[in-house]
């Protein structure tokens, strides 16, 4: 057989082999590209779903960013990953195996979502700027967070459209790939009989394996889509639960009118809620939230030792941390607050964090103290009624009984009556004071202010007390304004002046002097009563103004009283828009100044 004949014999086989090799190469390339495209499509769909979930994770991370450094760093990392992957999804990314978009509707959807994505990105960046080195500089603004959540919901809705459109786009691509494979299969079928002996069967097995891989990958894509949907539903439920918890917590705190504080013991940094500032009258930017500011700027100096001991006992001995302290309000006054809290400890039982609240209990403390004073006053009155008033009344009764039984003569009876006249006068004043105090306590105390002449009232008072003063040889000197008139309840002014002058007589030694004068300053009249008695120390005067309660001291001749005189004077002046001023010097006497409004023009 010549070479030419051999060639004629074998050339169909050569062509067949070359054709088979070409078809094998073509089919292999088509299938390889199909597999690669399937992987690219799967990664793209998976990343689109992850982008949607990552936006929700960022918002949740933002709400928890103040808890610890790890959550804050994770928030920043997630934010940058999310922004970077958004660009990769839109323009493709060979490094991450993402497809390049050539579908105009899908490209348009990305252009539509870009503004929402950028707004949400900038909003989160702006909120994260409040974090410096892992320490939150100020409380997150609820309105700003709500805006971020609104932007996130808008982004989620648009991202859902992109996921759906991407899914359709992938289906179209897969359909086209399937059509290409079908065409290759038809071409391969023409030479199927020729390939069957040489190469078709091995190649067919490889194609089946590749097809099985494609089916598995398709099923994995479906499973991933289902898992994404389930995770989205779960995250939505978690968001709803978180919202409900936050609303419940806010409602509870508002209901109990409590301010919340948190103290990082390790860094010594604190956070105070808006209600904390509101209870003290401050704005959050007016005073720093720190332990140093709380102790040195807000806490009353007398409360520091008590607070320090309570905190040390709680941290060291696990005792209950709850105590009442005085805190400085913005208006410059101190109010009572109940502060309580509890420490959080690590695995080594070392306290790392402490949180608690403050509640305004000023009205409660004031009421309790007034109740204590009222109970003490009642006890004192019972003692007065059972002893101080009972003794002089008993003496009078005994004197009358002795006279009736002729144990003493008429002359002795009259002489004894003269001796106890001063006692009876003091007893009458004490009874009047007790009656007036009792009326004020049961609400039967009426005030009827009118234009009242000072001199007229002083004459009535002096006529009542003149004999008592004469018995001690005390003289009274008056220097009053002509036609001095004040706007006051006349009976109340009488009781005030009677008690003050009676006290002056009581504590002025025999042969002493009492001076009374008045003068006008601005819209008030000042009535000054000065005695030459034994006087008082600054501590005694401060005690009178601080307690304003019953306290009786014997006079220079042992005179006793109910101790209600000054309390009645304070109360009646307060009801008539007046005040009482006291100055005194030991051994040199005291001055009581009654300040009341001037008379009204007729």
Quick: pLDDT tens for 87-122: 777 777 666 666 666 667 777 777 777 787 787 777
Nearest to 596 by CA among 494, 493, 511, 515: 493
Domains defined along the chain, listed by start: 26-251 (no CATH), 257-360 (3.30.450.20), 368-597 (3.30.565.10)
The pLDDT of residue 283 is 92
Q: How far apart are CA 1 and CA 332, in angstroms?
A: 124
The DSSP-derived string for 142-200 is HHHHHHHHHHHHHHHHHHHHHHHHHHHHHHHHHHHHHHHHHHHHHHHHHTHHHHHHHTH
pLDDT in tens, 59-93: 776 666 554 566 667 777 777 877 777 777 777 76
- Tokens 């709500």, located at residue: 146
Which 3-state string (H, E, C) describes 485-512?
A: EEEECHHHHHHHHHHHHHHHHHCCCCCC
The 3-state DSSP class for residue 483 equals coil
In degrees and rounded to multiples of 5, residue 601 shows phi and psi of -65, 135
Asked whether residue 328 carries a pLDDT value surpassing 50, the answer given is: yes
pLDDT in tens, 475-489: 988 888 777 888 998
Asked whether residue 464 carries a pLDDT value surpassing 90, the answer given is: no
In degrees and rounded to multiples of 5, residue 167 shows phi and psi of -60, -45
Indicate the pLDDT class of residue 595, thresholds 50, 70 and 90: very high
Pairing between β-strand 513-521 and β-strand 579-585 as defined by DSSP bridges: unpaired
Which 3-state string (H, E, C) describes 70-87?
A: HHHHHHHHHHHHHHHHHH
Q: Which of residues 242 and 499 earns the better pLDDT score?
A: 499
pLDDT in tens, 260-292: 899 998 888 889 988 889 889 999 889 999 888
The pLDDT of residue 514 is 92
The pLDDT of residue 334 is 93
- Tokens 């001991």, located at residue: 309
Asked whether residue 5 carries a pLDDT value surpassing 60, the answer given is: no
Indicate the pLDDT class of residue 26, thresholds 50, 70 and 90: low
Q: How far apart are CA 199 and CA 183, in angstroms?
A: 19
Asked whether residue 175 carries a pLDDT value surpassing 90, the answer given is: no
Nearest to 556 by CA among 497, 472, 499, 475: 472
With contact defined as beta carbons under 8 Å apart, do 377 and 549 qualify?
A: yes
pLDDT in tens, 545-583: 664 544 555 555 545 444 566 777 888 888 888 999 989
Number of other CB atoms surrounding residue 5 within 10 Å: 9
In degrees and rounded to multiples of 5, residue 344 shows phi and psi of -105, 135
CA distances from 540 to 170, 317, 505, 553, 559 (A): 94, 42, 19, 12, 19
Q: Which of residues 6 and 188 earns the better pLDDT score?
A: 188
Nearest to 561 by CA among 497, 499, 493, 495: 499
Nearest to 502 by CA among 491, 514, 492: 514
Average of per-residue pLDDT across 341-361: 90
Asked whether residue 11 carries a pLDDT value surpassing 60, the answer given is: no
Indicate the pLDDT class of residue 325, thresholds 50, 70 and 90: very high
- Tokens 């089916």, located at residue: 215
With contact defined as beta carbons under 8 Å apart, do 565 and 502 qualify?
A: yes
The pLDDT of residue 327 is 93
Locate 485 and state its tokens.
Answer: 């008139």
Q: How far apart are CA 592 and CA 500, in angstroms?
A: 7
Average of per-residue pLDDT across 308-337: 91
Indicate the pLDDT class of residue 529, thresholds 50, 70 and 90: very high
The pLDDT of residue 153 is 80
Asked whether residue 498 carries a pLDDT value surpassing 80, the answer given is: yes
With contact defined as beta carbons under 8 Å apart, do 327 and 246 qualify?
A: no
The pLDDT of residue 8 is 44
Beta bridge partners of 86: none
Nearest to 264 by CA among 342, 352, 340, 349: 352
The pLDDT of residue 560 is 47
Residue 382 backbone class (left: φ over 0; alpha: ψ -120 to 50; beta: rest) = alpha
The pLDDT of residue 206 is 64
How many residues in total does the chain contain?
602
Q: How far apart are CA 490 and CA 455, in angstroms?
A: 12
Percent residues over pLDDT 70 in the chain: 66
- What is the DSSP secondary structure assignment for residue 563, as one 8-state letter? S
Calculated CA dihedral for residues 208, 214, 216, 221, nearest 10 degrees: -170
The pLDDT of residue 373 is 64
The pLDDT of residue 48 is 72
Asked whether residue 318 carries a pLDDT value surpassing 80, the answer given is: yes
pTM: 0.38
Q: Which of residues 100 and 595 earns the better pLDDT score?
A: 595
pLDDT in tens, 125-160: 776 666 544 444 445 567 767 777 787 787 777 777
Beta bridge partners of 403: none
Asked whether residue 300 carries a pLDDT value surpassing 90, the answer given is: yes
Average of per-residue pLDDT across 430-437: 58
Indicate the pLDDT class of residue 371, thresholds 50, 70 and 90: confident
The 3-state DSSP class for residue 283 equals coil
Q: How far apart are CA 472 and CA 504, in angstroms?
A: 12
* Mean residue pLDDT across the chain: 75
With contact defined as beta carbons under 8 Å apart, do 353 and 264 qualify?
A: yes
Asked whether residue 252 carries a pLDDT value surpassing 50, the answer given is: yes
- Tokens 């002449």, located at residue: 453
Q: How far apart are CA 511 and CA 455, in angstroms?
A: 24
Nearest to 434 by CA among 329, 567, 326, 323: 567
Among 177-181, 325-329, 498-502, the range scoring the smallest mean pLDDT is 177-181
Q: How far apart are CA 526 and CA 596, in angstroms?
A: 7
């Amino acid at each position: 057989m010549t070479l030419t004949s051999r060639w004629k014999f074998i050339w169909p086989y050569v062509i067949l082999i070359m054709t088979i090799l070409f078809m094998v190469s073509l089919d292999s390339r088509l299938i390889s590209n199909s597999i690669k495209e399937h992987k690219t499509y799967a990664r793209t769909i998976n990343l689109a779903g992850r982008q949607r979930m990552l936006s929700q994770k960022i918002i949740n991370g933002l709400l928890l960013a103040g808890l610890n450094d790890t959550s804050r760093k994770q928030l920043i990392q997630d934010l940058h990953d999310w922004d970077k992957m958004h660009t990769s999804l839109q323009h493709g990314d060979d490094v991450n195996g993402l497809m390049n978009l050539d579908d105009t509707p899908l490209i348009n959807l990305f252009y539509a979502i870009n503004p929402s994505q950028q707004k949400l990105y900038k909003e989160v960046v702006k909120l994260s700027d409040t974090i410096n080195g892992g320490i939150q500089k100020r409380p997150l603004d609820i309105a700003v967070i709500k805006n971020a959540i609104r932007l996130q919901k808008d982004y989620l809705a648009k991202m859902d459209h992109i996921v759906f459109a991407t899914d359709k786009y992938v289906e179209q691509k897969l359909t086209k790939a399937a059509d290409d494979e079908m065409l290759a299969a038809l071409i391969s079928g023409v030479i199927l009989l020729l390939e069957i002996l040489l190469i078709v069967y091995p190649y067919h097995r490889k194609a089946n394996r590749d097809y099985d891989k494609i089916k598995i990958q398709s099923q994995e894509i479906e499973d991933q889509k289902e898992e994404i949907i389930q995770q989205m539903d779960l995250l939505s439920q978690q968001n709803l639960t978180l919202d409900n918890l936050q609303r419940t917590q806010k409602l509870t705190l508002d209901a109990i009118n409590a301010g919340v504080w948190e103290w990082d013991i390790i860094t010594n940094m604190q956070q105070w809620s808006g209600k904390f500032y509101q209870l003290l009258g401050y704005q959050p930017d007016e005073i720093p939230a720190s332990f140093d500011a709380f102790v040195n700027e807000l806490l009353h100096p007398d409360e520091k030792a008590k607070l320090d001991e309570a905190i040390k006992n709680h941290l060291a001995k696990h005792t209950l941390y709850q105590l009442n302290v005085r805190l400085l309000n913005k208006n410059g006054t101190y109010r009572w607050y109940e502060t309580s809290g509890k420490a959080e400890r690590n695995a080594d039982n070392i306290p790392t964090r402490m949180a608690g609240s403050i509640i305004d209990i000023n009205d409660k403390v004031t009421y309790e103290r007034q109740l204590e004073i009222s109970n003490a006053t009642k006890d004192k009155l019972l003692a007065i009624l059972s002893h101080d008033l009972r003794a002089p009344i008993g003496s009078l009764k005994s004197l009358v009984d002795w006279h009736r039984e002729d144990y003493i003569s008429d002359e002795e009876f009259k002489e004894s009556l003269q001796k106890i006249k001063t006692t009876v006068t003091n007893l009458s004043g004490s009874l009047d004071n007790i009656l007036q105090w009792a009326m004020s306590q049961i609400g039967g105390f009426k005030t009827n202010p009118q234009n009242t002449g000072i001199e007229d009232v002083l004459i009535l008072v002096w006529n009542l007390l003149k004999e008592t003063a004469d018995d001690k040889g005390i003289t009274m000197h008056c220097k009053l304004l002509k036609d001095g008139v004040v706007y006051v309840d006349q009976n109340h002014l009488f009781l005030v002046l009677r008690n003050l002058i009676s006290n002056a007589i009581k504590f002025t030694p025999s042969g002493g002097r009492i001076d009374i004068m008045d003068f006008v300053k601005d819209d008030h009249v000042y009535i000054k009563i000065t005695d030459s008695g034994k006087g008082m120390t600054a501590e005694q005067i401060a005690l009178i103004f601080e307690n304003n309660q019953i306290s009786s001291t014997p006079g220079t001749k042992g005179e006793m009283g109910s101790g209600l005189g000054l309390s009645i004077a304070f109360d009646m002046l307060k009801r008539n828009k007046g005040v009482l001023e006291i100055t005194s010097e030991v051994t040199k006497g005291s001055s009581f100044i009654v300040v009341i409004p001037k008379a009204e023009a007729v």
